[in-house]
Amino acid sequence: MSASHAFSRRKFLNYSAAALAASALPRFSFAEDAMAGMDMQPDILQGGAGKYRLAKPTPIRLAVNVNAICIAPVVVADQQGFFKQHNLDVEFVNFGNSTELLLEALATGKAEAAIGMALRWLKALESGFDVKLTAGTHGGCMRLLGLTDGPQTLEALKGKTIGVTDMAGADKNFFALLLKRHGLDPNTDVEWRAYPQDLLPIVLKKGEIQAASGSDPVMYRLTQEAGYREIATNLSDVYAHLSCCVVGTRGSLIRDQPDVAAAITHAILQAHAYAAKHPDTIGTEFNSKALNTNPAEIAAVLRTHTHGHYSVGNAFVKEIDVYARDLQAINVLRPETNALQFAQGITANVLV
């Protein structure tokens, strides 16, 4: 990518600010209609690397948040041999919780591929960021909690205060979206307050907030304690059938080395499929990377996700179409953008 087309930090921040408007998203039936009757593609993950094994060892830099439990299957994938079977020598580029850094890693050639959240990427891709999405990897990794004697539903949060760790965080935006779906205006019907994550349980019990959203393992742990209950997750409603995280590669990789893009995608999906069947193994192997948790808890968190779900090809296009329409409905994506054509244009079916 030339300097004139480089994806600048300021430009990304503008896109991120626009994406915050997702909290005002109205719900339409298109999402349910788009996903209704969607058939799962034939299982392409059996039989090892198969035709996706590269002819020679190939070094690859993969940008991820290496401490995120939902990425655990990928971080420890070599311990099950998935990358090696594909002749991939993977180096992880840790971007922490910053989607900005992840995208900059791709834009500046510091990584060939990355894993991130679909809703955080689409505005950048509409604006010409040279990345292709090749697969949806799994669903589930956000949760909204309350007290057992507090609000029991999203509708019951009207007039209440919700605690979050980041006012620009993906979980805050997602649950704002769900509130809108359930008839609340997330900008006027609820109040949002930011706290350090370790304070969320304290202020929740004190009554300063009536619901809280944060990251696992802390939020999962609260669901296992007396006095707390889960109000919603990002597997609620139509999102139960969508991937929340996606694989993206540099556009130049798709154009110049589609076999490498296919190998990366296939190996990552195999790792997630393995995790769906062997969460205890992943919990043990990922424990050295995880923060403030243990193997049993990691495995338990993984069981609440849908690591057995993946989407490629037309199924993946339909998922991205739903997200694109969501963002278009609140003017994050341009109104003249054809959502389906956009989804088709930013995805690539490399597993053919």
pLDDT at res. 275: 95
% the chain with pLDDT above 70: 86
Q: Are residues 32 and 129 in the same domain?
A: yes
Last residue of a domain, one of 186, 208, 233: 233
Q: What is the DSSP letter of 42?
A: P
Q: Are residues 9 and 124 in the same domain?
A: yes
CATH number at residue 222: 3.40.190.10
Q: Are residues 133 and 166 in the same domain?
A: no
- Examine residue 318 and state whether it is found in any structural domain, yes or no: yes
Rounded to whole angstroms, the Cα distance separating 16 from 103 reads 12
**Of residues 151 and 123, which shows the higher confidence score?**
151
Q: Are residues 109 and 175 in the same domain?
A: no
| Range in 36-50, 194-208, 230-244, 267-281 the model is least confident about | 36-50
Q: Are residues 253 and 126 in the same domain?
A: yes
Last residue of a domain, one of 190, 210, 233: 233
- Tell me: the pLDDT tens digits for 42-74? 468 888 899 999 999 999 999 998 888 999 999
What residues contact residue 221 under an 8 Å CB cut-off, 6+ apart? Answer: 297
% the chain with pLDDT above 90: 57
Give the full edge-to-edge strand order of the sheet including 245-250.
88-94, 58-64, 113-117, 245-250, 131-138
- Examine residue 351 and state whether it is found in any structural domain, yes or no: no
- Tell me: the pLDDT tens digits for 315-332? 999 999 988 887 776 566
Predicted structure pTM score: 0.85
Q: How many folded domains does the chain comprise?
A: 2
Q: Are residues 105 and 19 in the same domain?
A: yes
pLDDT at res. 38: 38
pLDDT at res. 252: 93
Q: Are residues 116 and 152 in the same domain?
A: no
Mean pLDDT score across all residues of the chain: 85
Q: Are residues 276 and 338 in the same domain?
A: yes
pLDDT at res. 44: 81
Rounded to whole angstroms, the Cα distance separating 239 from 39 reads 16
Q: Are residues 297 and 220 in the same domain?
A: no
- Examine residue 352 and state whether it is found in any structural domain, yes or no: no
* pLDDT tier, 213 (very low <50, low <70, confident <90, very high otherwise): very high
Segment 127-151 shows an average pLDDT of 92
pLDDT at res. 28: 40
Q: Are residues 58 and 172 in the same domain?
A: no
Last residue of a domain, one of 215, 233, 251: 233
- Examine residue 273 and state whether it is found in any structural domain, yes or no: yes
- Examine residue 205 and state whether it is found in any structural domain, yes or no: yes
- Examine residue 112 and state whether it is found in any structural domain, yes or no: yes
**Residue numbers of the domain that contains 305:** 3-140+242-346
Beta-sheet strands, E only, within the chain: 58-64, 88-94, 113-117, 131-138, 143-147, 161-164, 191-194, 211-214, 228-233, 245-250
From residue 105, how far is each of 49, 184, 251 by CA, in Å?
27, 37, 13
Q: Are residues 200 and 68 in the same domain?
A: no
Terminal alpha carbon distance of the chain: 27
Structure tokens belonging to residue 206: 């004190």
- Examine residue 97 and state whether it is found in any structural domain, yes or no: yes
Q: Are residues 83 and 121 in the same domain?
A: yes
Peptide bond into 151 cis (omega under 30): no
Segment 225-240 shows an average pLDDT of 92
Structure tokens belonging to residue 220: 């999962």
- Tell me: the pLDDT tens digits for 289-317? 888 899 999 999 999 999 999 999 999 99
What residues contact residue 304 under an 8 Å CB cut-off, 6+ apart? Answer: 140, 220, 233
- Examine residue 265 and state whether it is found in any structural domain, yes or no: yes
